[in-house]
């Protein structure tokens, strides 16, 4: 009986995704152990986070996409409400207003929106499936921009960008016209000088430093210099696990969280980096496959957006640490230390599995 | 048929979707290839370079602080500059025993108890790995002696640092301001403005005056050296560097000589003077007396000096020009007169017959004129010249408080002048609305009456009154006053002139302006309330005297200047612009507890105008004219007892 129930339960698991994720997690825990100065406490903490993540993933994999569709609107509105609450009564920390204090616990509503926004948009387009008009894209744009602007105002530009990306992928996959995409890109380019002239001097400086950290060698630039040295000195095969001098000697900043890739690259070298890229590519490729096979609009849009967003995380983080992209506080999926990002990932991966396995069920039933 | 169309549509949709997916997949592959090539570049192509860096590592970033911009007066006289001094600094975390180190050190160079106190204070505020000065201003001999013994003192370093110096000490301190050590509050503000990394290595920041308001211009951009350091933390090799950019120099509108004359002429009395160029809003002098030596603050003021300044009854730390609020007294009358003319209510040949007091209809309360016997027949010009209270009581009542305040607001009363340094107060222009909000009480007609002579709740700062005088001199065109004329690039010497901001433009009929001006010119002629000020002047001065009450006087009491405590004596006001026909300078002077405006404040204004207009000081001795004695009793107002004490 229990055995039967269990097989029912795990049959929704996608073995390719799960295996790849587990491989990355093993490497991640090893890197974390090294980066944290060989602290088992940190590793155990992350193991707890991983267990929560796997649990969430299993639950999400067993939830039918129709049920997810049903909560799309309420979850989105709830998230929006929380964001407004944050703007009005949120706690200020480090000069930004991001947290909502519920008395017992603090929550960061922008995190919720990373999934609530693509789910909401996928649901919206699936409702309007029959005849999509430009009005629908305009409404979708509003659905997307409302939370993005609220988050950007906190200010949390990193998260705002990611939420925007996750929603934009949905709209893009839903068939947003190329004319509009190129048109707005050109319009944005044209508006840049105007926006620039509207900024305060210190805001401009902040943007300049964001684009070119070497302008701020005493602040953000220092991080990039040290991270680059760590990666470069790793060479082809790396210095070996626990042997990364840059990382062990405290030169790499934020080395268990946002900059953990620098530690990995120093100890495992180019070979390790390329293997990691391959593993990420497998996850992304598998997710795209799931999206292309999905049988209804909601499922395929959601799966496609999750895949593309996952890619965005990987690319932006590794690009930032290796010095080709601006420094924005974005963790490396599955590798960086931290429970929140793992939780969101678990949910995303679970949703992918659900889309895949329930497609089969619908098809055969 | 329908079903198949739908199916076809569905397939069509899915096809389009897959094309979009394909585009994303290509994007992923392109991006990841870019990453892979970046890794290849760093880890294979530049491997040797980074390997070497990591091997010898330790790269340290050493900030190079920029030179702070200089501050000069309008003619280039340097008022704030920097010079190098040797300082001895200790990094507590690098010393074996801090107490021993200091004890040994004091055998080589003198360490005074004051130095020790400051060191302890700074140490409590900083981290153990920061270096803290134990001695500053070492002479060459001391520096050399330490250098020889250096090996005995790990963690102690001789540094050469730029110090700020204000060569004229107390001159114009309230305008220039001063810099002092960066504290927690400053750090927080710097962080909010993302300026923190630009202040690495900088220890001082502007705390008051122009030094504070123009901090961003003056500070400059911090340079850096990326150096390799050995195990002891000493720089071995410079890998790359960027030189600092010096802060911009600032040219004030202040004329240092004029400022010096103004400050001297106060001769130890308390008060303030502001002189403005009416056409440009340039502040030519801004004195707040007594002043203090800004150099005391640069290095962290010691306890004794701080107590002395902070507890002094004369309050030298307060900038009276911006923060001193006083009733304007009779200096308010020219503005009220203009309101009367512009409203058409007092156009010539309107005259009153002054019995020496004014009464509201249905009231028996007498609002007394300063001259008990009255001024006889008075028109508007004479009302200004002799400062006739009775005339203005009636005018204020007829105008009503709202019309009166709406008009004079154009001269900047009740609002900040938006001078380009911080800390200005806005004074007060009372209205019924304000009184309701403030006291939850209705407005009484009697309160309107006394606003007519600048008493009651009305409060102004010397800066406001000087600005108002400048607006009057400039025929109603209000230029925002400012202390900084230009910002000069220290490297290229490129000069950026700051624009003159027109704050308000009140159209006034030229005839009315001329009438008020004539009344004000007569003030400095025989028969006027400040005849002595105008004596022997080669140009015409348009002026007005005034008195700000410190202590309210009861209805039947008489004010006796000599009988009361010096600090309860009235404050003396004097406003003027000259030459009256083509004004080049507008001045407001207050002498606290000076008594009468014409005799106490007027001569200061005269000397300032003489220097500015003629380039020389007037004869030192003021002729003791008969007018001076006759007019000394001017304007000892009692008003209604509602008069508030002047604040200082």
Task: Report the pLDDT value the prediction gives residue B35, as an integer from 0 to 100.
Answer: 95
Q: How many residues does chain A have?
A: 365
Contact A219 B197 (CB under 8 A): yes
CB contact residues (below 8 A), chain A span 102-161, against chain B: 129
Contact A304 B51 (CB under 8 A): no
Distance of CA B405 to the CA centre of its chain: 26
CA contacts within 13 A on the Cβ side of B77: 18
- Domain with residues B257-294+314-631, CATH architecture: 3-Layer(aba) Sandwich (3.40)
Q: Which residues of B touch A205 (CB under 8 A)?
A: 194
CA distance B36 to chain A (A): 7
pLDDT tens digits, A49-91: 999 999 999 999 999 888 999 999 999 999 999 899 888 877 6
Q: Which residues of A touch B33 (CB under 8 A)?
A: none
Strands B59-64, B223-229: pairing is antiparallel
Contact A300 B17 (CB under 8 A): yes
DSSP state of B529: T
Q: Is B614 an interface residue toward A (CB < 8 Å)?
A: no
Paired strand residues for B78: B72
Q: Is A33 an interface residue toward B (CB < 8 Å)?
A: no
Q: Is A325 an interface residue toward B (CB < 8 Å)?
A: no
- Residue A267, judged by CB atoms within 10 A of its CB (0-12, 13-18, 19+), counts as buried
Q: Which residues of A touch B25 (CB under 8 A)?
A: 285, 288
Three-state DSSP state, A235: coil
pLDDT tens digits, B424-475: 999 999 999 999 999 999 999 999 999 999 998 999 999 999 999 999 999 9
- Top residue of A217, A249, A278 to mutate, by most chain B CBs within 10 Å, is A217
* DSSP secondary structure, B181-247, as one string: E--HHHHHHHHHTT-GGGGTT--EEEEEHHHHHTHHHHH-B-EEEEEEE-TTS-EEEEEEEE--BPP
Paired strand residues for B353: B377
Q: Is A78 an interface residue toward B (CB < 8 Å)?
A: no
Strands B571-578, B156-165: pairing is unpaired
Of B46, B57, B200, the CB nearest to A218: B200
Task: Report the pLDDT value the prediction gives residue A359, as an integer from 0 to 100.
Answer: 72
The domain made up of B63-252 has a fold known as Penicillin-binding protein 2a (Domain 2) (3.90.1310)
DSSP state of B646: P
DSSP state of B66: P
Residue A350 has pLDDT above 90, yes or no: yes
Do you find a cis peptide bond into B349, omega within 30 degrees of 0? yes
Task: Report the pLDDT value the prediction gives residue A257, as an integer from 0 to 100.
Answer: 87
Pick the residue from chain A with its C-alpha nearest to B12.
A175
Of A201, A228, A232, the CB nearest to B47: A232
Task: Report the pLDDT value the prediction gives residue A129, as an integer from 0 to 100.
Answer: 75
Q: Are A218 and B224 in contact (CB under 8 A)?
A: yes
Count of pairs with CB atoms under 8 A, one residue in A, one in B = 143
Q: Is B56 an interface residue toward A (CB < 8 Å)?
A: no
CA distance B506 to chain A (A): 31
Strands B178-181, B156-165: pairing is unpaired
Q: Tokens at residue B53, please?
A: 């860096």
Residues B145/B147/B149/B154 CA torsion (nearest 10 deg): 140
Angle separating helix axes A297-321 and B2-40, nearest 10 degrees: 10
Cα dihedral across residues A130, A132, A138, A141: positive or negative: positive
**pLDDT mean over A288-317:** 93
- Domain layout of chain B by residue ranges: 63-252, 257-294+314-631
Q: Is A291 an interface residue toward B (CB < 8 Å)?
A: yes
* DSSP secondary structure, B106-174, as one string: HHHS---HHHHHHHHHHHHHS-TTS-EEEEEEE-HHHHHHHHHHGGG-TTEEEEEEEEEE-TTTTTTHH
Q: Which residues of B touch A274 (CB under 8 A)?
A: 36, 39
Contact A225 B59 (CB under 8 A): yes
Q: Is B46 an interface residue toward A (CB < 8 Å)?
A: yes
d(CA B476, CA B351): 26
- ∠ CA B215-B216-B218, nearest 5°, is 60
- Top residue of B14, B16, B24 to mutate, by most chain A CBs within 10 Å, is B24
CB count within 10 Å of CB A94 equals 6
Task: Report the pLDDT value the prediction gives residue B472, as an integer from 0 to 100.
Answer: 96
d(CA A173, CA A169): 6
Q: Which of B621, B628, B622 is nearest to B599 (CA)?
A: B628
Q: Which residues of B368-383 are buried (b: 16+ CB within 10 A; e: fewer)?
A: bbbbeebbeebbbbbb
CA contacts within 13 A on the Cβ side of A143: 26
Strands B376-378, B78-90: pairing is unpaired
Contact A307 B24 (CB under 8 A): yes
Q: Is B582 an interface residue toward A (CB < 8 Å)?
A: no
Output the CA–CA distances (angstroms, integers) from residue A173 to A179, A228, A297, B578, in the order listed. 15, 36, 10, 76
Instruction: Tell me what ipTM this predicted complex has.
Output: 0.92
Of A245, A288, A324, the CB nearest to B54: A245
Contact B54 A304 (CB under 8 A): no
Strands B71-72, B249-252: pairing is parallel
Task: Report the pLDDT value the prediction gives residue B413, as an integer from 0 to 100.
Answer: 95
Q: Is B434 an interface residue toward A (CB < 8 Å)?
A: no
CA distance B205 to chain A (A): 17
B53: left (phi over 0), alpha (psi -120 to 50) or beta: alpha
d(CA A172, CA B167): 67
CA distance B28 to chain A (A): 7
Task: Report the pLDDT value the prediction gives residue B13, as an integer from 0 to 100.
Answer: 81
Which element (helix H / strand E) includes B590?
strand B585-591
Q: Which residues of A touch B21 (CB under 8 A)?
A: 173, 288, 291-292, 304
Paired strand residues for B277: B282
Q: Which residues of A touch B191 (CB under 8 A)?
A: 95
Q: Is B112 an interface residue toward A (CB < 8 Å)?
A: no
Q: Are B578 and B613 in contact (CB under 8 A)?
A: yes
CA distance B50 to chain A (A): 5
CA distance B44 to chain A (A): 6
Task: Report the pLDDT value the prediction gives residue B623, as an integer from 0 to 100.
Answer: 39
- Top residue of A232, A245, A252 to mutate, by most chain B CBs within 10 Å, is A232
Task: Report the pLDDT value the prediction gives residue B129, as an integer from 0 to 100.
Answer: 57
CA distance B186 to chain A (A): 15
CB count within 10 Å of CB A12 equals 20
d(CA B289, CA B269): 7
- Domain layout of chain A by residue ranges: 18-62+206-365, 69-198
Three-state DSSP state, B310: helix
Q: Which of A93, A67, A97 is nearest to A82 (CA)?
A: A97
Q: Which residues of A touch B6 (CB under 8 A)?
A: none
Residues of B annotated as catalytic are 330
Task: Report the pLDDT value the prediction gives residue B635, as an integer from 0 to 100.
Answer: 38
Of B14, B40, B195, the CB nearest to A202: B195
Q: Are B470 and B281 in contact (CB under 8 A)?
A: yes
CA distance B258 to chain A (A): 36
- Top residue of B54, B60, B196, B243 to mutate, by most chain A CBs within 10 Å, is B54
Pick the residue from chain B with its C-alpha nearest to A275.
B36
Task: Report the pLDDT value the prediction gives residue B638, as an integer from 0 to 100.
Answer: 37
* DSSP secondary structure, B547-587, as one string: EE-SS---TT----TTTS-GGGSPEEEEEEEESTTS--EEE
Whole-angstrom Cα Rg for chain B: 33
Cα dihedral across residues B424, B429, B430, B435: positive or negative: negative
Spell out, as residue ranges, where chain B has pLDDT lower than 50: 1-2, 231, 553, 555, 618-648
DSSP state of B478: E
Q: Which residues of B touch A308 (CB under 8 A)?
A: 24, 28
Pick the residue from chain B with its C-alpha nearest to A310.
B28
Do you find a cis peptide bond into A143, omega within 30 degrees of 0? no
Q: Which of B497, B629, B606 is nearest to B275 (CA)?
A: B606
pLDDT tens digits, A153-194: 877 777 888 899 999 999 999 988 888 889 989 998 888 888
- Top residue of A229, A239, A295 to mutate, by most chain B CBs within 10 Å, is A229
């Amino acid at each position: 009986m229990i055995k039967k129930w269990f097989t029912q339960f795990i049959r929704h698991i996608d073995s390719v995704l799960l295996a790849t994720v587990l491989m990355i997690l093993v490497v991640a825990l090893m890197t974390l152990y090294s980066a944290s100065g060989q602290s088992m406490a940190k590793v155990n903490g992350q193991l707890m986070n991983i267990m929560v993540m796997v649990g969430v993933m299993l639950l999400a994999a067993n939830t039918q996409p129709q049920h997810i569709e049903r909560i799309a609107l309420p979850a989105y509105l709830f998230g929006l409400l929380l964001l407004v609450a944050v703007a009005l009564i949120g706690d200020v920390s480090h000069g930004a207003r991001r947290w909502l204090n519920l008395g017992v616990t603090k929550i960061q509503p922008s995190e919720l929106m990373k999934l609530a926004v693509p789910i909401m948009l996928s649901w919206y387009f699936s409702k309007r499936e029959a005849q999509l008009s430009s009005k629908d894209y305009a409404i979708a744009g509003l659905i997307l921009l409302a939370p993005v602007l609220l988050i950007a105002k906190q200010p949390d530009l990193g998260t705002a960008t990611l939420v925007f990306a996750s929603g934009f992928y949905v709209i893009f996959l839903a068939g947003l016209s190329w004319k509009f995409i190129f048109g707005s890109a050109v319009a944005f380019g044209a508006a840049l000088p105007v926006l620039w002239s509207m900024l305060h001097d210190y805001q401009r400086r902040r943007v300049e430093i964001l684009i070119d950290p070497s302008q701020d060698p005493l602040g953000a630039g220092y991080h990039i210099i040290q991270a680059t040295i760590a990666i470069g000195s790793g060479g082809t095969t790396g210095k070996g696990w626990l042997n990364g001098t840059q990382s062990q000697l405290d030169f790499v900043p934020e080395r268990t969280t946002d900059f953990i890739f620098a530690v990995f690259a120093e100890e495992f070298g180019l070979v390790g980096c390329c293997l990691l890229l391959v593993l990420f590519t497998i996850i992304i490729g598998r997710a795209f496959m799931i999206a292309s096979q999905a049988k209804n609009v909601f499922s395929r849009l959601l799966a496609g957006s999750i895949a593309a967003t996952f890619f965005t995380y990987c690319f932006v983080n590794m690009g930032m640490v290796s010095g080709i992209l601006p420094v924005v506080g974005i963790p490396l999926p599955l590798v960086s230390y931290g429970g929140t990002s793992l939780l969101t990932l678990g949910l995303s991966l679970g949703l992918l599995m659900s889309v895949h396995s329930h497609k089969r069920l619908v098809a055969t039933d | 048929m329908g079903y198949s169309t739908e199916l076809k549509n569905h397939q069509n949709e899915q096809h389009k979707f897959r094309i979009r997916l394909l585009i994303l997949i290509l994007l992923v592959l392109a991006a990841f290839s870019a990453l892979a090539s970046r890794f290849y570049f760093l880890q294979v192509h530049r491997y040797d370079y980074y390997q070497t860096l990591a091997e010898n590592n330790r790269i340290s970033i050493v900030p190079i602080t920029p030179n702070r911009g200089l501050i000069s007066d309008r003619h280039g006289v340097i008022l704030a500059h920097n010079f190098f001094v040797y300082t001895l600094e200790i990094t507590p975390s690098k010393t074996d025993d801090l107490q021993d180190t200091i004890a040994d050190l004091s055998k080589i160079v003198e360490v005074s108890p004051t130095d020790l106190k400051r060191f302890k204070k700074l140490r409590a505020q900083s981290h153990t790995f920061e270096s803290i000065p134990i001695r500053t201003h070492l002479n060459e001999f001391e520096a050399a002696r330490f250098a020889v013994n250096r090996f005995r003192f790990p963690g102690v370093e001789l540094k050469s640092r730029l110090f700020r110096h204000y060569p004229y000490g107390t001159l114009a301190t309230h305008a220039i301001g001063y810099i002092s050590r960066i504290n927690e509050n400053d750090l927080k503000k710097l962080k909010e403005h993302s300026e923190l990394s630009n202040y690495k290595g900088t220890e001082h920041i502007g705390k008051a005056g122009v030094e504070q308001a123009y901090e961003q211009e003056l500070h400059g951009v911090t340079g850096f050296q990326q150096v390799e350091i050995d195990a002891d933390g000493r720089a071995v090799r410079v890998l790359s560097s960027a030189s600092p950019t010096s802060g911009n120099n600032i040219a004030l509108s202040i004329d240092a000589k004029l400022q010096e004359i103004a400050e001297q002429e106060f001769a130890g009395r308390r008060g303030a003077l502001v002189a403005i160029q009416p056409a440009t809003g340039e502040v030519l002098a801004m004195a707040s007396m007594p002043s203090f030596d800004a150099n005391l603050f640069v290095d962290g003021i010691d306890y004794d000096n701080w107590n002395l300044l902070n507890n002094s009854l004369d309050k030298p730390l307060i900038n009276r020009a911006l923060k001193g609020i006083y009733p304007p007294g009779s200096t308010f009358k020219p503005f009220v007169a203009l309101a009367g003319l512009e409203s058409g209510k007092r156009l010539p040949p309107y005259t009153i017959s002054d019995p020496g007091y004014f009464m509201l209809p249905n009231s028996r309360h007498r609002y007394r004129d300063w001259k008990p016997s009255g001024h006889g027949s008075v028109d508007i010009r004479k009302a200004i010249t002799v400062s006739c209270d009775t005339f203005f009581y009636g005018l204020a009542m007829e105008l009503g408080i709202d019309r009166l305040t709406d008009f004079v607001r154009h001269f900047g009363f009740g609002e900040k002048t938006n001078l380009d340094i911080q800390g200005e107060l806005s004074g007060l222009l009372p209205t019924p609305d304000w009184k309701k909000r403030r006291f939850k009480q209705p407005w009484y007609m009697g309160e309107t009456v006394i606003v007519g002579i600048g008493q009651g709740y009305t409060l102004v700062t010397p800066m406001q009154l000087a600005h108002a005088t400048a607006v009057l001199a400039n025929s109603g065109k209000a230029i925002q006053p400012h202390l900084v004329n230009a910002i000069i690039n220290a490297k290229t010497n490129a000069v950026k002139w700051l624009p003159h901001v027109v704050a308000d433009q009140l159209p006034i009929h030229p005839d009315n302006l001329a009438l008020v001006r004539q009344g004000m010119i007569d003030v400095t002629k025989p028969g006027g309330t400040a005849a002595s000020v105008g004596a022997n002047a080669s140009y015409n001065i348009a002026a007005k005297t005034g008195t700000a009450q410190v202590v309210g006087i009861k209805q039947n009491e008489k004010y006796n200047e000599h009988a009361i405590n010096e600090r309860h004596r009235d404050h003396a006001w004097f406003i003027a612009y000259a030459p009256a026909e083509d004004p080049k300078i507008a001045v407001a002077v207050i002498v606290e507890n000076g008594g009468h405006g014409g005799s106490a404040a007027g001569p200061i204004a005269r000397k300032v105008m003489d220097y500015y207009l003629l380039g020389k000081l007037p004869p030192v001795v003021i002729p003791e004219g008969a007018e001076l004695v006759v007019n000394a009793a001017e304007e000892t107002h009692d008003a209604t007892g509602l008069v508030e004490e002047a604040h200082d």
